[in-house]
């Protein structure tokens, strides 16, 4: 039983990562509509990337998980009524220049 798992697990992992590795996205071109309709990827993945981007700009290495969730939800709420706004601009509006 273990041999089967060890043989299949790498095939599944490498097969999946090879397919995902071919897709690249310019975050500056993602719109709010694409965020809320999951056209590019799930909203959480984009929120995590944006959090890292803005925190890196401020040299901040600390994550407040509850604040991240709150701001991620605020970003989605903002995007619900601003479909054509680039998501990176929406994040700037929601964050107001503050740390994640």
**18: how many CB neighbours lie within 10 A of its CB?**
9
Q: Contact, 88 vs 31, CB < 8 A?
A: no
Say yes or no to pLDDT of 8 above 60. no
- Look over the chain and give the mean of its residue pLDDT values, rounded to a whole number: 82
Residue 99 confidence (pLDDT)? 46
Q: Contact, 70 vs 30, CB < 8 A?
A: no
Residue partners of 15: CB distance under 8 A and separation at least 6: none
Residue 22 pLDDT grade (very low, low, confident, very high; cuts 50, 70, 90): low
Say yes or no to pLDDT of 48 above 50. yes
Share of the chain above pLDDT 90, in %: 67
Least confident range from 2-11, 33-42, 61-70: namely: 2-11
Q: Where are the domains positioned within the chain?
A: 25-95
Alpha-carbon gap, residue 75 to 82, rounded angstroms: 10
Say yes or no to pLDDT of 29 above 80. yes
- Topology (CATH level 3) of domain 25-95: 10k-s Protein, Hypothetical Protein A; Chain A (1.10.890)
CA dist list (Å): 30 to 12, 23, 79, 82, 87: 30, 14, 11, 13, 6
> Is 0.75 surpassed by the pTM of this model?
no
């Amino acid at each position: 039983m273990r041999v089967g798992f060890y043989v299949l697990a790498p095939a599944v992992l490498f097969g999946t990562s090879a397919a995902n590795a071919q897709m690249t996205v310019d975050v500056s071109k993602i719109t709010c509509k694409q965020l809320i309709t999951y056209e590019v990827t799930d909203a959480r993945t984009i929120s995590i990337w944006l959090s890292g981007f803005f925190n890196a700009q401020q040299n901040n290495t600390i994550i407040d998980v509850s604040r991240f969730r709150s701001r991620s939800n605020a970003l989605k709420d903002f995007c619900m009524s601003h479909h054509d706004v680039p998501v990176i601009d929406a994040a700037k509006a929601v964050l107001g220049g503050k740390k994640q």
